[in-house]
Amino acid sequence: MAIQWFPGHMAKARREVQEKLKYVDIVFELVDARLPKSSRNPMLDQIIQQKPRIILLNKADLADPVQTQKWQNYFNNLGYETLALTAKNDKSVKQIVPAAKKVLAEKRARDKEKGLKERAIRAIVLGIPNVGKSTLLNHLAGKKVATTGNKPGVTKGQQWLRFNSQLELLDTPGILWPKFEDPEVGKRLALTGAIKDDLLQLDDLAIYELEILSRFYPEILMERYQLSEDDLFQPAAEILMEITKKRGFKDDYERGSELLINELRQGRLGRFTLDRYEEKVD
């Protein structure tokens, strides 16, 4: 199931982000904690280059905590400051500014030695759709977002949002990439709702979901759908048929597929991680 998404936008997206990076101190790279690798934009490393960044593993409340910790350690070992958080949780979001100060400590110390007055950290949030950018901005802002005005050199239409005396964010759309070279990435993003459902077959996606859950989280399927261990030794297509019948849909496998996918997206299946740390490619 190969998926192509937003073809033709790479050059434009790259130009826009590179222009905006001139005016920020740090990049907040927002990814889905359930997809720590698949939800990272492969363009960003080349675009951001040496610009300081923090990787924010959002939706950590929906992810497997053991896997999340492994991914945090992995990114930390690559030299990135990493936070696991839930963007809709104010306490969780409050970790971001202290982490940014830590990353920028040396630069801020040099500025102080030069006699420069300490100012708010200027940042940009980059991430693909459905990783929680809007939720993060809303919870950083509360009800007191104030526009600080255009900074010199910033192109028309871009605004700086001041969230408190310590942080300003450049308000800008997210950055996308045009296609998935690895079809597994497309399927994982589709399963969590980052891609429109009309781009794929729901039964194929449901079967993919069952393959992952039966392998890594069999207890989720057994508890939610009253399946036995023997049921899970069947091919995923057979498991889908079993669940469809148990839910009273008879042979309506499309309806059974929709049920499986929606319940996963709605958090009814509990915490899971689709990108397995053990299967990472360095």
In CATH, what number is assigned to the domain containing residue 119? 3.40.50.300
Which domain-ending residue is among 131, 155, 171? Answer: 171
Q: What is the pLDDT of residue 111?
A: 85
Q: Tell whether 225 is covered by a domain.
A: yes
Exposed e or buried b per residue across 69-85, where buried means at least 16 C-beta atoms within 10 angstroms of its C-beta: ebbbebbeeeeebbbbb
Q: Tell whether 188 is covered by a domain.
A: no
Q: Tell whether 165 is covered by a domain.
A: yes
One domain for residues 235 and 140:
no
One domain for residues 206 and 259:
yes
One domain for residues 15 and 100:
yes
Q: Tell whether 227 is covered by a domain.
A: yes
Given its phi and psi angles, is residue 185 left (phi above 0), alpha (psi -120 to 50 degrees) or beta?
alpha
One domain for residues 113 and 215:
no
Of 269, 265, 245, the C-alpha closest to 256 is: 245
SS (H, E, C) 193-250: CCCCHHHCCHHHHHHHHHHHHHHHCHHHHHHHHCCCCCHHHCCHHHHHHHHHHHCCCC
AA letter at 257: S
pTM to 2 decimals? Answer: 0.87
One domain for residues 273 and 210:
yes
From CA 221, how far away is CA 226, in angstroms rounded? 7
One domain for residues 136 and 97:
yes
Q: What is the pLDDT of residue 174?
A: 56
| Count of domains forming the chain | 2
Q: Tell whether 95 is covered by a domain.
A: yes
Tell me which residues of the chain have a pLDDT lower than 70.
1-13, 142-159, 171-180, 199, 281-282
One domain for residues 89 and 159:
yes
One domain for residues 105 and 62:
yes
One domain for residues 166 and 226:
no
Q: Tell whether 265 is covered by a domain.
A: yes
Q: Tell whether 4 is covered by a domain.
A: no
One domain for residues 226 and 275:
yes
One domain for residues 141 and 244:
no
Give the β-pairing of 159-164 and 146-147. Answer: antiparallel
Q: Sign of dihedral through CA atoms 244, 249, 253, 254?
A: negative
One domain for residues 38 and 166:
yes
Q: Sign of dihedral through CA atoms 133, 102, 86, 274?
A: positive
Which domain-ending residue is among 151, 171, 191? Answer: 171
Q: Tell whether 128 is covered by a domain.
A: yes
Give the domain extent around 63: 10-171
